[in-house]
Amino acid sequence: MGLLSGSCAFVKYSVLGDLPQSGFWEFVADRVRRNAFQDIDDNFNEFSIGWVSVADLLDSSFEISDYAVADNIVLGLRVDQRKVSGAILKKFCAKEEARIKKERGIPKLSRDQRLEIKENITLKLVKQALPTPVKYDLWWNLAENTVYFFSTQGKAQELLEDFFKRTFDLGLMRQIPYTVAENLLAGDILETPLADLYPAEFV
Amino acid sequence: MDLVELMKEKEFVGQDFLTWLWLASESINSDGFFEHEGNPVVLLFDYNMKLECGAGDACNQLIFKTASGSASSLPEIKLAVQQGKKISQAQILISWKDLEFICKLDGSLLELTGIKLPKTVAGDDEDGYEARILERIYLAEQLSRIIDSLFLYYLKKRLTPAIWKQELVQFRDWLNE
């Protein structure tokens, strides 16, 4: 569902804050490099987030395709996460609880004991799980200072807003119909101010 | 007012726009009642649409699912609008110049999903990659600009009481046909 996919979806953001007056591309190169995606396939980290090429989620050094395309920046936001399904966790917790009850000869475990088992099992299973990769594309239109983000998922949008801020020290504000209307009407003087608009009655 | 509050309080802005867009394209002239950069924009609504009785949690959704392009649901949709329902989501085919876009437009957030941009011609080699990105960017931007232009066209009518009144008369006549 990304920029290059046959079918896609996007939302728009306004970029908040000032871009560097000089050395903009050096600034971008430095920030993208420092926040490029780091693989977690060979360690036990649960989560990793970083920039990759839009064309290839394995390309975090942008050797295959550049992020600078004319007056635009195109980036893939890769998120890898180790996840354990609820059903698997439940099964292994039940097995461990049964083992401990049998070993100690007790009929039931306390709430604290069950919580401790759950924590330990989660940790063990997360380490065994393979990280699932997801890539969300973004296109930063520098002429308009607008970001098009190719996902309508709330969770993905939260990740983008945080990571964009962390990378570029610039905020993102989601464009909603009312703020789009404010921008489109900027400078126009109409009989009814936008702020006085009320729901229309078509019948 | 923060963005979340603003979003909630002004949710009707996008829904009203989408409802107007459907009414305008059906009742006035679907073959280009509006121009974008000097070329007519042709809108064709699919009758797979979602209507609601208004913004808010207690809204009563009404979802139409018909074969793509089928007009058999038109009387039902007209009746729902006459009962005060507004369109909250619709799939639209937008033709402009020699380009055709298909997208699903969500009224409350003006979110675009299920977008099918016109096919690009650039190849997969290194030069082709940049050309392909630029083509896709151009097409996504055009789609966004067409929606923005339509939205501005609507806002100017909506915020000018005499023009809006005339517009409503046309819609009501068409709905009662």
Q: Tell me: the pLDDT tens digits for B85-117?
A: 899 899 999 999 999 999 999 988 889 999 999
Q: Is the pLDDT of residue B75 over 80?
A: yes
Which chain A residues have a beta carbon less than 8 Å from that of B159?
A: 185, 190-194, 197
Q: Does B145 touch chain A (CB under 8 A)?
A: no
Tokens of A156: 């993905």
Q: Given an 8 Å threshold on Cβ–Cβ distance, is B115 in contact with A10?
A: yes
- Average pLDDT over chain B reads 84
CA dist B174 and A155 (Å) reads 42
- Residue A126 sits at the vertex; the CA angle it makes with A135 and A110, to the nearest 5 degrees, is 140
- pTM of whole model > 0.90? no
Report the candidate in B55, B41, B3, B77 with the shortest Cα–Cα distance to residue B153: B41
Q: Does A19 touch chain B (CB under 8 A)?
A: no
Per the rule left: phi > 0, alpha: psi between -120 and 50, beta: everything else, B20 is alpha
The band of B7, judged by pLDDT with boundaries at 50, 70 and 90, is: confident
Q: Which residue among B116, B130, B160 places its CB closest to the CB of A69?
A: B130
Q: Given an 8 Å threshold on Cβ–Cβ distance, is B19 in contact with A200?
A: yes
Q: Using CA coordinates, name the residue in chain A closest to B133.
A: A4
Q: Is the pLDDT of residue A118 over 90?
A: yes
Q: What residues 36-75 of chain A have any CB closer than 8 A to a CB of chain B?
A: 54-55, 65-66, 69-70, 72, 74
